[in-house]
Amino acid sequence: MSPRSSQDPTPHGQDGGANPTSPGGPANTAGPGDAAPTGRDFLGHPRGLLPLSGLEIWERFSFLGMQAILVLFFSATAADGGLGMDPGAAASVAAGYSTLVYLLSVAGGWIADRMLGSYRSVLYGALLIACGHYAMAVPAAASTWIGLGLISAGTGMLKPNVAAMVGKLYSATDERRDAGFSLYYMSINIGAFLGPIVTGLLGEDIDWHWGFSAAAVGMTFGIIQYVAGRRHLAGRKEGAEFALPPAAMRRAVWLIAAGLVVVAVACVALSLGGALTLSGFVDTLTYVSMAAPVAYFAVMWRSPRVTPRERGRLRPFLVLWLASVAFNFVLFQSYTVLVLLTDNHVNTSVFGYHAPSSWISSALGAVSVLSAPFIAGAWQRMGPRQPQASNKLAFGVLLGGLGFLVLVPVLLGKSGDGWQISLVWIVLAVLFIGVGDVLLESTGLSATSKLAPAAFSSQALALWFLSLALATGVQAQTVKFYGRIADSLYFTLNGAVAVVVGLAVLAVAPWLRRTMHPIH
């Protein structure tokens, strides 16, 4: 199949993926292997949004549920069932794990676009994630690292391709698109809300591996409902839409298999020889997270599959991408530094009940879940009058930075051990970050699916997730300073970065509006 013309109103990289009842959308022209979209709607959106959103509920339930207790598991003493790491090192390793997850999303996007197609890539990724969580349920250090490796690979396969499948439900001119991504992102945060509650109760109050077991069961439910709802997934095909020729496909399979074996053998050998340390591995991931986006932007820019008009849209996409880096630099510290701050210096007793510190991650999901319907409804009511995509992202980044800066006044002068701050301040920080999360991520995913070159529909979403990889890669280095400098200075510096970037995006909004035209 050849790439579509950039003037084609059909969404990039799809054949008749839009709901046939969509305003302005094309009629269904599903080819062989496609799911035939039904005329029924889900909350005024294509029916396929339901199984994709349901999968994300359980994927985020498992992923963020596990991540919420991961840094506490790393920093807990051996007597408490943990690995006994220094808090700063624990936060760094947890951030490094997130970096690996989002780096692998590039491979996941490429595999979907060139080898398996989105549907099967998501399915295989979900199976790897489930196996990884089941491995982490085994109380052995080796199982922990094997499990994290499987989850990283599976999430890299799943995340960019689910988002790409959501984009295929709408035509490029469908005004419901941003609202649909807001609802999709709300489902992500339902899982983000429920996961840490369950894993936190089990992990902190009973045993860490009970918490990991809950994540495994959650992902299993996700797989079941995804397969059950596959008939509603518009644009689903038996294979990749821009598949490699058979000979190249065989070579790619062998190269991938050989590469995995070489990497595994090298890691084992270096580890046994004492040359591979956790700190060194995290540092390597940071360097890769910096180099990978540069290389991937260059590949897309130079590809003969990309038309001149599509290439022009990569410039504003780069600005939005950098805004995502700045926001997620703050957001992902909510799962590490903010959890550690809460665990050590916040009185979490509410009406006599001592809430687990990991529930801060649930509060973040709750804010996103509660705010997403209002934001989605506002965009849908405003229609063509809604703010331009870059402005939505800019306000999201600003709110993320303010989420850290709001903590600074109450942290001034605090040092040593034994001091505490009110839980109200943490809740206020989470409120800012959670609303900013919905504004930025839902808009960013929607804009990426519209700006993506046709031949890179899944890979462009993977490139968007590389912004998360870079954010967590840089965070893996900065969190090492947590506990070494004053908390007030730490949160000031980190929050200020996001605020400055948000203001910069607002400043270039007129240029973005012109270069993104006719996409808003």
Residues whose CB is less than 8 angstroms from the CB of residue 383 and which lie 6 or more positions away in sequence, other chains included: 175
Residues whose CB is less than 8 angstroms from the CB of residue 332 and which lie 6 or more positions away in sequence, other chains included: 95, 98, 468, 471, 472, 475
Which of these, 262, 280, 299, lies nearest to 455 by C-alpha position? 299
- Contact predicate 184/339, CB 8 Å: no
Is residue 310's pLDDT more than 70? yes
Residues whose CB is less than 8 angstroms from the CB of residue 396 and which lie 6 or more positions away in sequence, other chains included: 323, 327, 435, 436, 437, 438, 439, 440, 441, 443, 502
The predicted structure's pLDDT at residue 241: 67
What confidence tier does 401 reach under pLDDT thresholds 50, 70, 90? Answer: very high
Structural domain includes residue 355: yes
Which of these, 43, 59, 50, lies nearest to 232 by C-alpha position? 50
Rounded CA-CA distance 3/132 in Å is 36
What confidence tier does 289 reach under pLDDT thresholds 50, 70, 90? Answer: confident
Entry field: residues in the chain: 520
What confidence tier does 476 reach under pLDDT thresholds 50, 70, 90? Answer: confident
What confidence tier does 502 reach under pLDDT thresholds 50, 70, 90? Answer: very high
User: How does DSSP assign 54-122, residue by residue?
Assistant: HHHHHHHHHHHHHHHHHHHHHHS-GGGTS----HHHHHHHHHHHHHHHHHHHHHHHHHIIIII-HHHHH
If DSSP codes are grouped into helix, strand and coil, which group holds residue 243?
Answer: coil
The predicted structure's pLDDT at residue 492: 93
- Contact predicate 394/505, CB 8 Å: yes
Over range 370-393, report the average pLDDT: 79
The residue with greater pLDDT, 401 or 334, is 401
How many domains is the chain partitioned into structurally?
A: 1
Amino acid, res. 506: L
Structural domain includes residue 22: no
What confidence tier does 16 reach under pLDDT thresholds 50, 70, 90? Answer: very low
The whole-angstrom distance between residue 266's C-alpha and the CA centroid of its chain comes to 29
The predicted structure's pLDDT at residue 2: 33
Q: Are strands 41-42 and 45-46 parallel, antiparallel or unpaired?
A: antiparallel
- CATH number, residue 413: 1.20.1250.20
Q: Give the pair of three-digit tokens for residue 457.
A: 């529909």
What confidence tier does 375 reach under pLDDT thresholds 50, 70, 90? Answer: confident
Structural domain includes residue 30: no
The sign of the CA dihedral 40, 46, 48, 52 is negative
Over range 116-133, report the average pLDDT: 88
Q: In which element (H, E) is residue 350 found? A: strand 349-350
- Contact predicate 356/200, CB 8 Å: yes
Which of these, 68, 183, 94, 167, lies nearest to 452 by C-alpha position? 167
Total H helices, total E strands in the chain: 18, 4
What confidence tier does 236 reach under pLDDT thresholds 50, 70, 90? Answer: low
The predicted structure's pLDDT at residue 234: 56
Over range 347-365, report the average pLDDT: 74
Is residue 159's pLDDT more than 60? yes
The predicted structure's pLDDT at residue 24: 33
The average confidence (pLDDT) of the chain is 78
The residue with greater pLDDT, 221 or 459, is 221
Structural domain includes residue 342: yes
User: What is residue 421's DSSP assignment?
Assistant: B
Is residue 185's pLDDT more than 60? yes
Is residue 30's pLDDT more than 50? no
The residue with greater pLDDT, 363 or 505, is 505
Query: Which domain does 101 fall in, by range?
Result: 41-242+274-515
- Contact predicate 68/361, CB 8 Å: yes
Is residue 20's pLDDT more than 70? no
Q: Give the pair of three-digit tokens for residue 1.
A: 């199949």
Instruction: Evaluate the omega torsion of the peptide bond into residue 304 and state whether it is cis, within 30 degrees of 0.
Output: no
Over range 233-247, report the average pLDDT: 67
Is residue 444's pLDDT more than 90? no
In order of 16, 194, 331, 351, 442, the CA distances from 24 in angstroms are 13, 37, 36, 53, 22
pLDDT digits (tens, 9 = 90+) for 53-69: 888 888 888 887 887 78
Structural domain includes residue 34: no
The predicted structure's pLDDT at residue 503: 95
Instruction: Evaluate the omega torsion of the peptide bond into residue 3 and state whether it is cis, within 30 degrees of 0.
Output: no
Please state the φ and ψ torsions of residue 106, each to the nearest 5 degrees. -65, -45
How many Cβ atoms are within 10 Å of 29's Cβ, its own excluded?
A: 13
Percentage, residues of the chain above pLDDT 70: 85
- Contact predicate 455/303, CB 8 Å: yes
Is residue 23's pLDDT more than 80? no
Residues whose CB is less than 8 angstroms from the CB of residue 160 and which lie 6 or more positions away in sequence, other chains included: 105, 108, 109, 112, 458, 459, 461, 462, 464, 465
Which of these, 354, 327, 357, lies nearest to 340 by C-alpha position? 357
The residue with greater pLDDT, 22 or 64, is 64
Amino acid, res. 456: F
Is residue 28's pLDDT more than 60? no
Rounded CA-CA distance 334/413 in Å is 22
Is residue 403's pLDDT more than 80? yes
If DSSP codes are grouped into helix, strand and coil, which group holds residue 452?
Answer: coil
Over range 122-130, report the average pLDDT: 91
Structural domain includes residue 6: no
Over range 475-488, report the average pLDDT: 83
Structural domain includes residue 23: no
pLDDT digits (tens, 9 = 90+) for 69-97: 888 888 888 878 777 787 778 888 888 88
Rounded CA-CA distance 113/121 in Å is 9
Is residue 457's pLDDT more than 80? no
| Radius of gyration in angstroms for the set of CA atoms belonging to the chain, rounded to a whole number | 22
The predicted structure's pLDDT at residue 93: 83
The predicted structure's pLDDT at residue 258: 83
The predicted structure's pLDDT at residue 222: 85
The residue with greater pLDDT, 398 or 301, is 398
The predicted structure's pLDDT at residue 423: 84
Structural domain includes residue 251: no
Q: Give the pair of three-digit tokens for residue 377.
A: 């409804």
